[in-house]
Structure 1
Amino acid sequence: MGGEAGEPTGHPHRAAATLAVRPWQRRQQRMPQALERADGSWAWVVLLATMVTQGLTLGFPTCIGIFFTELQWEFQASNSETSWFPSILTAVLHMAGPLCSILVGRFGCRVTVMLGGVLASLGMVASSFSHNLSQLYFTAGFITGLGMCFSFQSSITVLGFYFVRRRVLANALASMGVSLGITLWPLLSRYLLENLGWRGTFL
C-alpha cells in the first residue's frame, strides 16, 4: 500500500531529475569526444592554436608603450589620459573571466574563442578610426580587451579537454606562446608603426 501510494509521486521526481541532467549532457556533447581521443594528434594542433592565441592576447598589451607618444601627439593628451587606454584593455582582459566561463559553459570553448577573435579584431579596426580618446577607450580598450579575454581564457580551458596524461606538459608549452608574443609583438609593432603609422598598425 505504501509502495503504491509513493509510486505516482516518484515518477515526476525521476522525470524532473532526468530533465535537469539533460542540459549538462548537451554541453558535454559539444566537445566532440575530446576526452576519448585525449593526447592524440589533434590535441597537438589544439596546443599549437593555444600557443598562438596566448601570444596574441598577452603579447599585444606589452607593446602598447610603443604607440604611447604617437597617441599623445594625435589626441593632444596628457600622460594620465593616454595611459587609460592600456589600463582599460588590461583590466577587461583579466576581469571578464566570469563572463567568459558562462559562455564556455553555454556554447563551448571553440565558439567562445572565435567570438573573442571577432571582438578583438572589430575593436582594433574601429579604434583606427577614433577621433578622440574616449572612442579609443571603448574600442581598443573595452571591446578588444573583452575579445582577448574570451580567446585567452577559452584557450587555456580547452587544453583540459584534449590532454590527460600530458596535461602538465601541454600547459607548460602553451605558456611559451606568451614569451614568444612578448618578444615578437614589439618588433612587429615598431616596424608597422614606422611604415604605416598607428592607425594603419591598429587596422
Structure 2
Amino acid sequence: MPTGNHWTADPSKIITGLLEQLGKEEKRTETMTKVNRARSTSPPDGGWGWMIVAGCFLVTICTRAVTRCISIFFVDFQTNFSQDYAQTAWIHSIVDCVTMLCGLGFALCYSPAIAMVGKYFNRRKALAYGISMSGSGIGIFILAPVVQLLIEQFSWRGALLILGGFVLNLCVCGALMRPITLKDDQTTSEQNHVCRTETQGFQQASPSSSWTKEWVQTCLCGSLQQEYNFLLMSDFVVLAISVLFMAYGCSPLFVYLVPYALSIGVSHQQAAFLMSILGVIDIIGNITFGWLTDRRCLKNYQYICYLFAIGMDGLCYLCLPMLQSLPLLMPFACTFGYFDGAYVTLIPVVTAEIVGTTSLSSALGVVYFLHAVPYLVSPPIAGWLVDTTGSYTAAFLLCGFSMIFSSVLLGFARLVKKMRKTQLQFLAKESDPKLQLWTNGSVAYSVARELDQKDGESVAIAMLGSNPT
C-alpha cells in the first residue's frame, strides 16, 4: 500500500517477483553463455587481426601524424596572428590534450583502435603494435613536405581544409574494427549479465524499496571495481606517474623543431625535411623495436627496453641546444625519431604486462588520459621559457630531464620490487627449510606470483596437487 510518497514492500512479493524474473532469464542466460563460449577464443595472432593492424595504422596517420604536422603551421600562425611563442603553442597543445582527455574528436578513434590490436594479438603483440604505431612516422614522413607545399600553394587556411578532408578516411578505418570475445572476457561478461538480471528482478518486484536501491548500488560498485581495480596496483600507479613526466618531455619537440631550425638559419624546405627524417626513422623504430622485443632473447626484457628508449630520448634533448646546423640536426632527428618510435610501440605492451589483457582497454584509456595535462601545458611552458630567455636551451633541457626522470623512476620501482621478491623468497625458505616438490612436480610455495598479484599483501602459501612425498 502507498504510505505518503513511498511504497511499503511485501517481502514475499519481492521474493516471488525475483524468482519469476530469474526463471524467465535462466534460459536466456544459458543461451548467451553457449554463444559466448562459441565465440570466445584466444587472440588469433593473425587472420583478421592484420586488418585490425591496418586500420590502426591508418588511424595513427590520420590522428597523430596530422597533429604533429601542425608544427609546420607554427610560424604562419605566429606571423598571421602576431602572437608570441607561448600563445601560439596553445593551438597544438589543445589539440593533443583534447585527443587524450575527452571522448571527442580523435579520441574516439585512437584509443579504441589501439585496444583492438591488443585483443587480436598475444604472441606477436609487440610486432603488431610496432606496425600499427608506425603510421605516425609514415604520416609525418609523407605529410611534412606535402603540407609545406600546400601552404605555399593554397595558404595555411587551404592546407588545413585539405587535411580535414584527408582525416575523413577515419570512417573507413572504423569499418574494419570487428569485435572479438576472448576467454578472459567471458567470466566478466557472465558476471555482469547475472548482476543485471538480479537487478531487473528486484526493480520489477519493488521499484521503490531501499533494498532494491542498495542492491543496484552494490552491483554497480562491484562492476566498476572489477573494471578499474588496476588503479589500486602499485605498479600501475608508478607507471602513471612516469607517464606524466614522459608526456611532458615528448610533446614540445614536435612543436618547436621547425621554429628552432628556422632560428639557426635552416630554410623552410629543409626544416620540413627534418620532420620527414624524424618521421621515417620513427617508422623504423616502431617496427624494428617491436620485432626485436618479440624475440625470445628480449621477450622478458620489454620493460627494460621501454625504459632505455625513454632515457635515450631524454639524452637527445640535452644535446639539442648544441646543434646549430642542418648536418648536426639530421643525426639528432634520426636518433630521437628511432627511440620515440621504440617507446611508443612498447606503451601498450608494458601496460598489458602490468594489468593483463582483460583490463587493457580501460588501462590504456587511463594511460592516454594521463597524457592530456602534460600535452596541454608543456608547449606553452616551453614557449614561455623561449620568450623569457630568448633561447630554446632552457625549454629543451627541462624536457630532457623530465624524460630521464620518467625512465629512472620506473627503473627504481622495478629494482625495489625485485629486491622485495628476493627477500621474501629467502624468508620463506628460512621459515620452512623442508621446502620440497610435490608428487605432481609443482612447487609448494609461489611467493613471486602472489607478490605480483597482491603486491605487498601477506604471502600466501598454497598447496598444489597431492600430499608431499
- State if a TM-score over 0.5 links the two structures: yes
In structure 2, relative to structure 1, the CA distance for the partners of 1:90 and 1:118 (3 Å cut) is: same
In structure 2, relative to structure 1, the CA distance for the partners of 1:159 and 1:69 (3 Å cut) is: closer
Matched, 1:51 2:276: no
Matched, 1:120 2:309: no
AA of the residue aligned to 2:262: Q
Alignment of 1:1-203 (within 5 A): 39=230, 41-49=233-241, 51-52=243-244, 55-56=247-248, 59-64=251-256, 68-74=258-264, 76-105=265-294, 106=298, 108-139=301-332, 141-164=333-356, 165-196=358-389, 197-203=391-397
Q: Percent identity?
A: 11
Tell me what 2:445 maps to: none
C-alpha distance after superposition, 1:57-94 (max 9, x if no partner): 75234422xx53443132x2211111223332233334
Tell me what 1:31 maps to: none
Shift of 1:113: 1.6
Q: Structure 1 stretch 171-180 or stretch 154-163: which is displaced more?
A: 171-180
In structure 2, relative to structure 1, the CA distance for the partners of 1:54 and 1:90 (3 Å cut) is: farther
Q: CA RMSD in A?
A: 2.8
C-alpha distance after superposition, 1:31-81 (max 9, x if no partner): xxxxxxx946124225404633662475234422xx53443132x221111
* Counterpart-to-counterpart distance in 1, 2:237 and 2:292: 23
Shift of 1:100: 1.4
In structure 2, relative to structure 1, the CA distance for the partners of 1:103 and 1:46 (3 Å cut) is: farther
* Counterpart-to-counterpart distance in 2, 1:70 and 1:97: 26
Alignment size in residue pairs: 163
| Bigger Rg, structure 1 or 2 | 2
TM-score scaled by length of structure 2 = 0.31
Whose RCO is larger (CA < 8 A, sep 6+)?
Answer: 1
* Counterpart-to-counterpart distance in 1, 2:274 and 2:248: 18
CA contact (8 A) 2:255 2:379 kept: yes
SS at match of 1:77: coil
In structure 2, relative to structure 1, the CA distance for the partners of 1:176 and 1:52 (3 Å cut) is: same
* Counterpart-to-counterpart distance in 2, 1:180 and 1:95: 29
AA of the residue aligned to 2:353: F
In structure 2, relative to structure 1, the CA distance for the partners of 1:186 and 1:193 (3 Å cut) is: same
In structure 2, relative to structure 1, the CA distance for the partners of 1:59 and 1:70 (3 Å cut) is: closer
In structure 2, relative to structure 1, the CA distance for the partners of 1:121 and 1:184 (3 Å cut) is: same
In structure 2, relative to structure 1, the CA distance for the partners of 1:151 and 1:134 (3 Å cut) is: same
Larger relative helix fraction:
1
Shift of 1:112: 0.8
In structure 2, relative to structure 1, the CA distance for the partners of 1:137 and 1:143 (3 Å cut) is: same
* Counterpart-to-counterpart distance in 1, 2:277 and 2:334: 6
Where in structure 1 are there 5+ consecutive unaligned residues? 1-23, 25-37
